[in-house]
Amino acid sequence: MPTFDLVVVGSGGGPSELNISAYLLKARDSCWSDGVVGIEAGSGLGALKQILERKPDLFNEGVGEKQVRSYTAPQIYSNVRAFLVSHAHLDHVMGLILLAGTVGGPRKSIRSTRQVLEDLEESIFRPSRIWPNLASWNKDDADHMYLYDPLDFKPEYTRIHKDISVRMMALNHGSDPTPYQSSAFFIRHDPTEQEFLFFGDVEPDSLAKKPLTIDVWRVAAPKIPHRLNTIFIECSYPSGRSNDCLYGHLTPDHLVQELENLAREIVKAKSRTSSAPSNPSSPARKRQRLKSRSNSTNTDDLKGALKGVRVYVMHFKEDMENAYKEPIHVVITRQVKELVEKKCLGAEILAAEQGAHIVI
Ligand SMILES: [Zn+2]
Ligand SMILES: [Zn+2]
């Protein structure tokens, strides 16, 4: 049973300001007017207004016989109760900065690490010179539209809106010049315990000083595919870009390497559960135990390991010079798909396209 509706306001990674990381989420059994969670907020009102000109029915909801409720871009943003932000780079927060002071509705919390919130406060809001100060740490402060509400990297889930909870984990996002962190979110629909996984910008573990993405895969693996079957992850550049010019991002080769890491964790998690019950001394169980102990899973073992998983690729760096004949999200997604098929991993690879309504 699907549990979430997600609308892609922006899925680019810059430099075009018209299409940068921004997603709107609600539980499928609720209405957009019951409250919305923004995941990232690079693009905002302007992008959504343009999308609605092309797709005026995007948020339409049936409200009884033949009656349909529709929403404008400011109405949708006024319903936002929380923005979940992976890191403070402008292509992830620009929309929420510009929105503050324009849209109405209830107070909105910004949920991220304390560091990200302090970066927003110290660089943008408090000096009141780049933007008026419209955010505060005080829960009883209706004068400020935004509430800084920090999240921790901890195993417990934190409720961020009715029926929606989140677990945040740390990611590497390059060194600029000191190591810079981003985050990944496990987003859970509490009544059904169904989840999906959403990545902020991420550096390949193979290039990081201290790999962190593997920890996210280890947490995800035992839930796949029954409790978690959808992953949003970046692939900023097309194939062929050198490792020296990644700036903490993935290419198709690196993304597929990461997906192999996930597949390996799934194989291990399965062999752990299947070797647990009954007859622990049978030869088959012994073989399985040996296999689950070794780190080197044969690539043959990974075949089909990601069956039932949908991977939405996102954060495409715009092709401003028209170097490719097709839109960059089509090019990159096809490159990822071909590599995943070559390795027979079994995952379905899709592009998170601006303006799409994705049912999770
Ligand atoms: Zn970014
Ligand atoms: Zn970034």
pLDDT by 10s per residue, the chain, length 360 = 899 999 999 999 999 999 999 999 999 999 999 999 999 999 999 999 999 999 999 999 988 888 888 999 999 999 999 999 999 999 999 999 999 989 999 999 999 999 999 999 999 999 999 999 999 999 999 899 999 999 999 999 999 999 999 999 999 999 978 999 999 999 999 999 999 999 999 999 999 999 999 999 999 999 999 999 999 999 999 999 999 999 999 999 999 999 999 999 999 999 988 876 656 566 656 655 555 555 566 777 899 999 999 999 999 999 999 999 999 999 999 999 999 999 999 999 999 999 999 999
Q: How far is CA 237 from the centre of its chain?
A: 17
Determine if residue 308 is left, alpha or beta; phi over 0 gives left, psi from -120 to 50 gives alpha, anything else beta: left
3 state SS of 196 = strand
State in Å: Cα 186 to ligand 1 middle. Answer: 19
Beta bridge partners of 5: 26, 359
3 state SS of 22 = strand
Q: Ligand 2 (ion): which residues have CB within 5 A? A: 89, 201
State in Å: Cα 233 to ligand 2 middle. Answer: 13
**Contact yes or no for 96/131 (Cβ under 8 A):** no
Rounded CA separation 360/353 (Å): 15
Name residue 3's amino acid: T
Residue 127 burial class via C-beta count within 10 angstroms: exposed 0-12, middle 13-18, buried 19 and up = exposed
State in Å: Cα 72 to ligand 2 middle. Answer: 29
Topology of the domain covering 4-359? Metallo-beta-lactamase; Chain A (3.60.15)
Q: Where are the beta strands (DSSP E) in 220-307?
A: 228-234
State in Å: Cα 274 to ligand 2 middle. Answer: 40
Name the token pair of 201.
């910008």
- DSSP label at residue 348: E
State in Å: Cα 173 to ligand 2 middle. Answer: 7
